[in-house]
Amino acid sequence: METFAVIVVSFLGLLLVALAGAVWWITRRVDGQFFDSDEVRIHFTDEGVGPPVVLLHGFAVNADLNWRLPGVLGALTPDYRVVAMDLRGHGRSDKPHESARYGEAMANDVVELLDHLGIGKAHVVGYSLGGIIALKLATTQPDRLLSAAPLGAGWENPADSAFLGAMDGIARALESGSGVPPLAASLDGTREAPGFLHTTWVKIVTRYLNDGRALAAMVRGLRGLTVEHEDLARIRIPVCSIVGTRDALKLGVEAMVGVVPDHTVVFIEGADHLAAIRSPLLRDSLREFLTAHAGGKETP
């Protein structure tokens, strides 16, 4: 019995160490800088030398978790000036609790950051929520973008999107503190349900690692980032979509095919929303797209 007890205690000790390591891995941050955008303090890092690339992370995570840990940021910094910001409501940035402080204001933050850094034009790369913002900027601020790469995200019809229609229920879940499942999970019978790891991950980050009221306000303001279908055809900068074939948001990418004039599309076979960002194919395809559309030197 003593031996068994020792084994159990040892196992529990190792489990606690592993959990502590996982928490550290998830929450560790790289110190950056701050600037004010419409009285909201925004955190960002600025690394590397070359044509500027702005990275916009996904819902309920932060710049390091979305871009640094999967190796995307490190793959870009040898050849690009990479600016990775924490979106308002996330990470080290301020977290307003009013929905009016989100929506299009999140796209405006990117322009304000470019102005703050003296950058005339930049490639804007976003994942999930960040991809929605990148697509918005492609239609509203094309003169400030060298290209737009909405990854793990596509076009959602403002009039009848099941994804957008689910936002009120998601906001209520966030406000209750219960956490939420993936945003687009099985919203309309054509969307594939996410796996257990994806569901568990989203539950954890929305319930324990974020300000639920701020996320709820952001969700309620999401319609301010929508794009009309006719605006897609007017996009005059290169656009790159990279998405997993098992990603619930793949339908939005498919809706853009044949509509956006200069549109590169890469599907990552078998990847869901959580796995695609870690794929070497995403990193390689993004670098190839950026190289093809370098757009010259940074504008002071």
Per-residue pLDDT at 288: 98
Q: How many residues does the chain have?
A: 300
* Amino acid letter for position 106: M
For residue 118, give Cα distances in angstroms to 33, 104, 295. Answer: 15, 22, 17
Domain extent, residue 186, equals: 33-292
Per-residue pLDDT at 210: 83
Q: For residues 296 and 52, is the Cβ–Cβ distance under 8 A?
A: no
Whether residue 26 is contained in a domain is answered as: no
Q: Three-class SS of residue 79?
A: coil
Spell out the residues 6+ positions from residue 102 whose beta carbon is closer than 8 angstroms to its own: 88, 89, 96, 217, 218, 220, 221, 222, 224
Spell out the residues 6+ positions from residue 195 whose beta carbon is closer than 8 angstroms to its own: 272, 274
Whether residue 16 is contained in a domain is answered as: no
Whether residue 223 is contained in a domain is answered as: yes
Q: For residues 123 and 49, is the Cβ–Cβ distance under 8 A?
A: no
DSSP state of 65: I
pTM of this structure: 0.86
* Domains identified in the chain, total number: 1
* Tens place of pLDDT per residue across the chain (300 aa): 566 554 544 544 444 433 334 444 456 679 999 999 999 999 999 999 999 999 999 998 999 999 999 999 999 999 999 999 999 999 999 999 999 999 999 999 999 999 999 999 999 999 999 999 999 999 999 999 999 999 999 999 988 777 777 777 888 878 877 666 555 444 333 455 556 555 666 667 766 678 889 999 999 999 999 999 999 999 999 999 999 999 889 999 999 999 999 999 999 999 998 899 999 999 999 999 999 998 644 333
The closest alpha carbon to 130, from 71, 179, 188, 84, belongs to 84
CA distance 92 to 63: 10
Whether residue 19 is contained in a domain is answered as: no
CA distance 69 to 274: 13
Per-residue pLDDT at 159: 81
- Any idea which residue has 């909201």 for tokens? 40
Whether residue 101 is contained in a domain is answered as: yes
The closest alpha carbon to 137, from 122, 116, 115, belongs to 122
Q: For residues 83 and 113, is the Cβ–Cβ distance under 8 A?
A: yes
**104: buried, middle or exposed (CB in 10 Å: 19+, 13-18, 0-12)?**
middle
Supply the CATH number for residue 242's domain.
3.40.50.1820
The closest alpha carbon to 117, from 205, 33, 190, belongs to 33
- Write down the H helix ranges in 166-270: 167-176, 196-207, 212-220, 229-232, 250-254
Per-residue pLDDT at 165: 74
Whether residue 21 is contained in a domain is answered as: no
Give buried/exposed letters for 188-218 (b at 16+ CB in 10 A, else e): eeebbebeeebbebbeebbbebbbbbbbbbb
Q: For residues 235 and 258, is the Cβ–Cβ distance under 8 A?
A: no
Whether residue 80 is contained in a domain is answered as: yes
Within 10 Å of residue 10's Cβ, how many Cβ atoms? 10
Whether residue 169 is contained in a domain is answered as: yes
